[in-house]
Structure 1
Amino acid sequence: MILLIGGTGQLGGLIARRLLLRGEEVRVLVRDPSAPAARALVEAGARLVPGDLTDPASLRAACESVQGIITTANSMSRGLPDTIDSVDQHGNANLIDAATGAGVGRFVFISALGADPHHPMPLLQAKGETEQRLRQGTLDWTVLQPDFYMDMLPMAVIGAPALSGGTVTLVGEGRRRHSIIAMKDVAGYAVAAFARPESIGRVLRLGGPEAVSWRDVLDSFERHLGREVPVRFVAPGQPLPGQPEMVSGLLALLETYDSALDTRALARSHGVVPTTLDGFVRGAVEAARGHGVR
């Protein structure tokens, strides 16, 4: 039995379905078993267990008779009263304690590239603290550190306005290069790493097959839409219209470094066929056109 934390989220749902297709027994921790995403997991063959990262007693019950744990949970999509402190810091500590007490064999933690206990960004600091806690404990852990997801920030910053006929706003010059990665590829790595003894005690830095800039993402959308997309640039630190303050801060941070990764050997060893930016954007545009976008 594999316990999945965050299974009702986008990445967690992808992992759940990959595990189920492999014939694994999957138990998913959920706060609301009646939620549509939870019901969809049941229909796919998963079992639900009520609980929450902020409730240690529920975690102890969820970890009973579990072979291993994969967790994607974080506070970013949850909203108040959940916070980085309650979920990403203390919640993950609760989960590690429960897993250790239950004698769980494997623990795969989805972190983020750049996570560090001393990072100035609270989320990356909390993830770094969780990684440190795993290294200091007794679980057979694996940490995945993906670069940022094609499915999220690039879609919010460029994809959504481009598809709706709006104006794209980029921070700085938009020329820094990052190995952005598709969520489905991260799901593939998570499932493969869980089953590979060679992954125990390792931090796997994950990226896509190419390092790309924000301008590359914009060019790809223009190419597949067959039209020019209006764009404007703002200085780092300036607010972005329609975006949370956290997004503005993250985009400013991404303009201070490159994160080009060579993951060819890792992809081969884990059986992952990396999604290219062009392939991802083509799929996004085709899906949007299926809903009437021109």
Structure 2
Amino acid sequence: MILIVGATGDLGSRITDALLQQGEPVRALTRDGASVAERWPGVDVVTGDLKEPGTLSAACTGVDTVITTANATSRTAPDTVESVDLTGNLNLIEAAENAGVRLFVFVSALGAAPDHPMPLLRAKGLSEERLRASGMASVILQPDVFMDRLIPIVVGDPALSNRPVTLVGDGDRHHSFVAMGDVAAYALAVLQHDGEPGHQTIRIGGPRPLSWRDVVAAFEHELDRRVAVHTVPPGGPAGDLPDFVVQLLTALEGYDSPVDMTLTSATFGVEPTDLESFVHAFVSAAPTSVPS
């Protein structure tokens, strides 16, 4: 039995769909059992909450593998980074260890560290530290920035509506943007990989490091028109971008995060999604675009 925590999220739902297509027995920990049961009739639904440790024991009982994608980045209080990404994950790791779970697959984030100044990466780092100290085998997936979440907000939506793109700083730093589908593919691949994983950490990125200027250029090529760019200094107002996006863009402007995926891709048989394919799919899926 495979327990999915975060099954209703974007990444968790991809993993759940794929596991069911493979005929795997799946259990989902959720606060809304009715919606999960309606979407996936074949899933064993357990009602619970990471913030309530007493609900996690039943979810982990009889489970061989736990895969968790849960996070609080798109939630509201009382779900916070502290309550979900830190305390909630620690609760889940303890419950899984006590239940005799063999393998724990944890979707973390590139750069996670117990002493990181950013609360999310600190919470992920502390959870990783606890997981490595557990008696379970573990696979920690550390994806770089998700294409699917940040590119549409920063570049895709403004480009399609013919509005200027707002970048924090010069937009010249390079990061290994990764498609969410690739991360789901790695979560599945580690289940079939030969041998016990022990405590393994897998850094995940796209086929090549990209700057925000590269992303803008890809949309210009796909749309066959110029996309205006407006830059703002770190710490200054950034138009109508959400606060959490501004904070992330500001942080990304302070470093580069190249990830060489050559060996990892070959080892697990996952072909990285390139920017051009992502942009083409995004534009093709849009209901309308503003003509030049």
Report Cα offsets for 1:253-286 as digits up to 9, x if no partner. Answer: 1111111111111111111111000000000001
Query: 1:293 — aligned with what?
Result: 289
What does 1:10-29 align with in structure 2 at a 5 Å threshold?
10-29=10-29
Q: Which moved more, 1:220-229 or 1:8-17?
A: 220-229
Report Cα offsets for 1:22-57 as digits up to 9, x if no partner. Answer: 21111111111234xx256414x3222111101112
Distance 1:184 1:279 in 2: 12
Distance 1:143 1:69 in 2: 12
Specify the code of the residue in structure 2 equivalent to 1:46.
Answer: V
Secondary structure in structure 2 of the residue aligned to 1:279: helix
Query: 2:100 — aligned with what?
Result: 103
Q: Which moved more, 1:45-54 or 1:149-158?
A: 45-54
Q: Is the 8 A contact 2:37 2:43 kept in 1?
A: no
Identity percentage of aligned residues: 50
Report Cα offsets for 1:101-127 as digits up to 9, x if no partner. Answer: 100011000000000000000000000
Secondary structure in structure 2 of the residue aligned to 1:199: coil
Q: Is the 8 A contact 1:188 1:272 kept in 2?
A: yes
Superposed CA RMSD in Å reads 1.3
What does 1:94-173 align with in structure 2 at a 5 Å threshold?
94-173=91-170
Alignment gaps of 5+ in structure 2:
none
Report Cα offsets for 1:203-260 as digits up to 9, x if no partner. Answer: 1000000111000001111111121112100001123222232221211111111111
Query: 1:269 — aligned with what?
Result: 267
What does 1:173-252 align with in structure 2 at a 5 Å threshold?
173-196=170-193, 197=195, 199-252=197-250
The number of residues matched between the two structures is: 289
Query: 1:58 — aligned with what?
Result: 55
Q: Is the 8 A contact 1:108 1:194 kept in 2?
A: no
Secondary structure in structure 2 of the residue aligned to 1:161: helix
Alignment gaps of 5+ in structure 1:
none
**What TM-score results when the alignment is normalised by the length of structure 1?**
0.95
Q: Is the 8 A contact 1:178 1:213 kept in 2?
A: yes
Secondary structure in structure 1 of the residue aligned to 2:101: coil
Q: Which moved more, 1:277-286 or 1:192-201?
A: 192-201
Q: Which moved more, 1:74-83 or 1:96-105?
A: 74-83
Distance 1:230 1:198 in 2: 50
Q: Is the 8 A contact 2:137 2:197 kept in 1?
A: no
